[in-house]
Structure 1
Amino acid sequence: MPLAADLDTALQNFAAKARVLVCLDFDGAVAELVADAMAATPVPVNAEAVERLSDLHGVDLAYVSGRPLDTLRQLAAPPAGTLLVGSHGAEKDLGPDSTGLQLDVAQQTARQNILAALADIVSRHEGAWLEQKPAGGAIHVRRIDDDVQAESVLQQARDALAHIDGVYPKEGKKILEAVVLQSTKGEAIEELRTLLEPEAVLFVGDDITDEQGFAVLEAGDIGIKIGSGETLAAHRLAGPSSLAQVLNRLADLRAEA
């Protein structure tokens, strides 16, 4: 199917800029959402399109994800030179001067309390599983087929986390994450904008946490929401399998320019 006329026009204007920044979420955008989060891989045509963009002059490419950096590198297999933002902005690999995540004593204690609370809930519910992250942890319920039961597990996690000091919950699609550092994808995109000074930014995301990224986009930027649900993004695609068409169109336009 052809791209929506308004999106194609936006891409034409975007591609005409001298330098642009393309920020991509991983899960639900470049990769399909799957029950086993560690089995996620880029949709093949998306991986090819991302590779095309990475080779183009004047295009900076970044993954902006909730995944820990090490996991993001492993699963996304980003092209050389791709900037990486993990853990919703708490972890960054923006070049040789990037430093690792450092938690103070209180944050380390809070992280351990998060992991202990979520591990207890996971131990009592088949299908739920705990993902340990450098700045906290996440409970996943995508393997639980009963949506009512899955929501009950998430509510138990919310209630448990409410009793831990220094915790910042983040809601997602069949996942509840808790971190000990306040960071958002919006802040990460703003940091990338300051660092790279692009004339425009394109951001693609699918989940609730991506709305904070859409919220910081400016005139001339492009926000693309993958899937259903309310969004601040001006454009929408049905699913990850549609993303390659957008990225390839952008690559074609840049090549023509």
Structure 2
Amino acid sequence: MAIEPSLVAALSTLAATDHLLVALDFDGTLAPLVELAEDARPLPASAAALRALAGLPSTTTALISGRALDSLRVVADPPAETLLIGSHGAETWTGPDAAPLSLTDEQSELLSRAVRVVEHVVTAHEGTRIEFKPAGVVLHTRSADGAVAAAAVSSTRAELESVSGLSITDGKRVLEISVLDTDKGQGLALLRRVSGATAVLFAGDDVTDEDAQRTLGPDDVGIRIGAGETAASFTVEDPAAFSEVLQELLRRRASGASGDRR
């Protein structure tokens, strides 16, 4: 599948930046969407390209995911030097000295209340599942009938409507509830500061990735995977098409790599 000429030109300019940050969503971007989250794996060509980019001078790789960090590490198996943002920005790993996530007593109690609500909803709606995160809980509806999924989401929102202090976000067949008000835009801003990047490639497939897309500047490149309204400058069809984009960026970045870029 050919990459559109305007995207090739943007990648060529991006590849020449002094310090490049390649920050990517995982599910639906590096990995095709699957019914069970634990079964997701990156496409081999995308994983290889990410690993090669991570080894280039003055190039930082990162994953920004809605997954908890432990889950992200298992399914993505990222290069050791790759920075990680999990739980939509609530969890961060920017190196060995990164502080672990810690909740206050009030936040812990709030999380317990949210968990009880989602557990009750899952019990009453066939095909839905619950996922636990350090700062949140997720209602998964991918395996449920459409009407059941809609009812489960509606019921969860109704039961949590009177609970203040929660951040509730819709995604692709998921409802994310968190006790921290964070998003991928904040996560990308942190990665930009930590890496000292002069330009960024960000790619994602979901509405939650739009928070990061909207932070991008004129020297950055944003890519939306799949259909949908987006602030990204470019759209590609699916993770397989994005794999070709990553490989193109790798070729151009590697061809211009020099020892004084580190």
Q: TM-score range by the shorter chain?
A: over 0.9
Contact residue 21 and residue 61 of structure 1 kept, 8 A: yes
| Structure 2 portions without partners, runs of 5+ | 257-262
Runs of 4+ in 1 over 3 A off after TM superposition: none
Match of 1:158 in 2: 157
Q: What's the offset of the Cα at 1:103? A: 0.5
Note if 1:178 corresponds to 2:140: no
Q: Which residue does 2:259 correspond to in 1?
A: none
Matches within 5 A, 1:1-257: 1-144=1-144, 146-257=145-256
Distance 1:255 1:61 in 2: 14
Provide Cα deviations, 1:87-144, integer angstroms capped at 9, x if missing partner: 1111011012211111111100010001000000001111100000100100000001
Deviations 1:226-252 (A, max 9, x none): 011100001011111112111110110
Residues matched between the structures, number: 256
Q: How well do the aligned residues superpose, as a CA RMSD in angstroms?
A: 0.9
The answer to whether the 8 Å contact 1:224/1:237 transfers is yes
Supply the distance in 2 between the matched residues of 1:188 and 1:105 (Cα, whole angstroms): 24
Q: CA deviation at 1:165?
A: 2.2
Matched to 1:52, the amino acid is A
When normalised by structure 2's length, the TM-score is 0.96
Contact map agreement 1:56 1:251 (CA 8 A) in 2: no
Counterpart code for 1:211: E
Identity of aligned residues (%): 40
Which amino acid is 1:179 matched to? S
Contact 1:24 1:64 in 2 (8 A): yes
Q: Which amino acid aligns with 1:177?
A: E
Query: CA separation in 2, counterparts of 1:250 and 1:100?
Result: 33
SS class of match (1:21): strand
Q: CA shift at 1:202, angstroms?
A: 0.6
Q: Alpha-carbon deviation of 1:75?
A: 0.7
- 1:148 deviates by 2.4
Q: CA deviation at 1:163?
A: 2.3
1:209 shift after superposition: 0.6
Unaligned 5+ segments in structure 1 are none
